[in-house]
Amino acid sequence: MEIIENVYQLDCASHGHVFFIRSDEGILIDTGMPGLVEKILAELEALDGAVQTIKKILLTHHDIDHIGNAKALQDATQAEVWAPQEDVPYIMGEKNRPGIKRILQTISRPPKPHISGCYLVNQNFGEVRVIHAPGHTPGHTIFQYRNVVFIGDLFQEIKGRLDLLPRFFIWDQEEAKRSISIIKELQYDWICPSHGMPIKRGTVTENFLKNF
Residue ranges in contact with Zn ion by CB under 5 A = 63, 153
User: Which of 55, 177 has the CB closer to Zn ion?
Assistant: 177
**CA angle (16 as vertex; 172, 62 as ends), nearest 5:** 45
Of the two residues 8 and 90, which places its CB atom closer to Zn ion in the complex? 90
CA dihedral 117, 122, 123, 125 (to 10 degrees): 140
Minimum distance from CB of 165 to Zn ion (Å)? 7
Which position's Cβ is nearest Zn ion?
Answer: 63
Give the nearest distance from C-beta 126 to Zn ion in angstroms: 25
In whole angstroms, the minimum distance from the beta carbon of 152 to Zn ion comes to 7
**198 exposed, middle or buried (CB, 10 Å; 0-12, 13-18, 19+)?**
buried
Q: Which is nearer to Zn ion, 9 or 53 (CB)?
A: 9
Q: Tell the smallest beta-carbon distance from residue 187 to Zn ion (Å).
A: 26
The b-or-e profile of 72-99 (16+ CB within 10 A means b, else e) is: bbbebbebbbbbbebbbebbeeeeebee
Supply the Cα-derived Rg of the chain in whole angstroms. Answer: 16
Instruction: Closer to Zn ion by CB, 26 or 84: give it.
Output: 84
